């Protein structure tokens, strides 16, 4: 559980860094953004493994009937302060065309899933 809490904390730090990168001079740096996304992916993978380990332990100790426990998806990895609902775009609008560095009010960087960060370049 401590590992998961640490992973979530680092994930939150990563997201805030990615968000802060939008306002830096020279625009978003592809290299830095890639490294941040890799860290976030490591965190979320680690968090999934942690959940799987918990389930595995449960499997060892519990009856087969309880093995159908639902796995927690990636969306639940995000910290509590992030909006629950993802921003919805108008139909036909290219969601990934807008560069992250553009100033669009209401567009939350945190709403982007991990593998959507880089295509914004």
Partner 1 sequence: MTYTSEGIQLHSSPESTSKQWLLYRPGGDMQWCFSQVKGAIDDDVAEADIISTVEFNHTGELLATGDKGGRVVIFQQEIENKNHPQFRSEYNVYSTFQSHEPEFDYLKSLEIEEKINKIRWLPQKNAAQFLLSTNDKTIKLWKISERDKRPEGYNLKEEDGRYKDPNTITSLRVPVLIPMDLMVEASPRRVFANAHTYHINSISVNSDNETYLSADDLRINLWHLEITDRSFNIVDIKPANMEELTEVITAAEFHPHQCNTFVYSSSKGTIRLCDMRVSALCDKHSKLFEEPEDPSNRSFFSEIISSISDVKFSHNGRYMMTRDYLSMKIWDLNMENRPVETYQVHEYLRSKLCSLYENDCIFDKFECCWNGNDSVVMTGSYNNFFRIFDRGHRRDVTLEASRENSKPMQVLKPRKVCAGGKRKKDEISVDSLDFNKKILHTAWHPQDNIITVATTNNLYIFQDKVN
Query: Would you tell me which residues interact with partner 1 (CB under 8 A)?
Result: 6-7, 10, 13, 17, 25-27, 29-32, 34-35, 38-39, 42-43, 46, 99, 101-103, 115-116, 118-119, 121
DSSP letter assigned to residue 75: G
Q: Can you say whether the dihedral through the CA atoms of 1, 39, 117, 119 is positive or negative?
A: negative
Cβ proximity to partner 1, 29 vs 69, nearer residue: 29
The span from the CA of 79 to the CA of 7, in Å, is 10
Cβ proximity to partner 1, 73 vs 99, nearer residue: 99
- Any alpha helices (H) in 22-100, and if so which ranges? 30-61
The nearest distance, CB 84 to partner 1, in angstroms, is 24
End-to-end CA distance of the chain: 35
The nearest distance, CB 43 to partner 1, in angstroms, is 6
Cβ contact 40:15 at 8 Å: yes
Cβ proximity to partner 1, 38 vs 62, nearer residue: 38
Cβ proximity to partner 1, 13 vs 55, nearer residue: 13
């Amino acid at each position: 559980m401590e590992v998961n809490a640490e992973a979530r904390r680092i994930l939150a730090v990563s997201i805030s860094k990615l968000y802060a990168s939008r306002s830096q001079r020279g625009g978003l740096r592809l290299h830095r953004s890639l490294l941040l996304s890799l860290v976030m992916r490591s965190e979320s993978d680690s968090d999934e493994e942690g959940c799987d380990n918990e389930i595995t332990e449960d499997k060892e100790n519990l009856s087969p009937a309880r093995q159908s426990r639902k796995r927690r998806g990636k969306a639940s990895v995000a910290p509590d302060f992030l909006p629950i609902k993802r921003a919805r775009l108008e139909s036909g609008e290219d969601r990934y065309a807008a560069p992250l560095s553009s100033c669009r009010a209401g567009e939350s960087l945190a709403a982007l899933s991990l593998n959507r960060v880089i295509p914004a370049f």
